Amino acid sequence: MDDRTLQLRQKYRHFRVLVMGRANAGKTTILQKICNTTDKPKIYNTKGEEIDLSTVAPSRERGEHNIENEMIFEANPGYIFHDSRGWEFGSSEEFKIVQDFIKQRGMERASQRQLHAIWYCLPTDNVSRLLTGAEGRFFQECDPGTVPVIAIYTKFDDFVLQTQLFFVSNGWEEDDAFNVASQCASHRFTNVYAKVINETRFPPSGDLSFTSYIDMDKLDTNCDKLLEKTADVLGDDVLRQLFMCIQKNNLDLCGKWGVKR
């Protein structure tokens, strides 16, 4: 580890991410893969006390949630995640909570409390509902300031199947339709559906797509695309170095950005 990397570790101990998206959008699976684990995160309140979620009845769980709570995976405690759960209900109260959190954390002078990135998961299994009212309002009204937003289009293999059905409905043979859909689904999605988000007032800084399910038991599946996209859109070189410093299982990305282990 060189002197610069050591200084970064001393100044910045964590990379803080707000994870957004409706229920069942694939958020937890992605975070587990980022941290190279199948375990659930530990959750801490604003006093640093661990919250025992097993004592929270399902009907009360949303009421117990606080965007300020910190989710940390023991496999990689360099990340601190915040969950915007409840946001999908689209109430004005929830919108203000998220908006205030992003604004206040984005302006924090204390490096350990700053928000560094927003990962917004948008499932593509039903593109007619790609943007709900809450999601549309976020990209139109919520100014993230200098905090980059990555749009993560999850369940993308479902969109491939939808594209296949589109061709089949136009007279294609099923196998031929699937082969063509696999090749052109990404282009079709970008030009027809993602275009709506990219033309909003506060569009994402970058985007990428994931399949419906990331098999945690397969060693060759990873979230490298998300790591690389996040590093690409970080406007501050120091933050980029910090982000690379906490990668425990990706030497290629560390090498790309010149971080010595």
Domains and CATH numbers, the chain: 3-156+202-256 (3.40.50)
Burial class for 202, CB neighbours closer than 10 Å (0-12, 13-18, 19+): middle
Regions of the chain with pLDDT less than 70: 1-12, 54-64, 86-90, 212-222, 248-261
pTM for this entry: 0.86
Bridge-based pairing state of the strands 79-83 and 42-44: unpaired
* Distance separating alpha carbons of residues 142 and 9, to the nearest angstrom: 31
C-beta neighbour count of 132 within 10 angstroms: 15
SS3 19: strand
Q: Say what the pLDDT of residue 198 is.
A: 94
Q: Say what the pLDDT of residue 168 is.
A: 94
DSSP state of 92: H
Among candidates 44, 111, 110, which has minimal Cα distance to 74? 44
C-beta neighbour count of 70 within 10 angstroms: 20
Among candidates 254, 215, 225, which has minimal Cα distance to 78? 254
Q: Say what the pLDDT of residue 63 is.
A: 45
Q: What is the pLDDT of residues 92-130, one digit of tens each?
A: 888 899 999 999 998 888 878 899 999 999 998 888 888
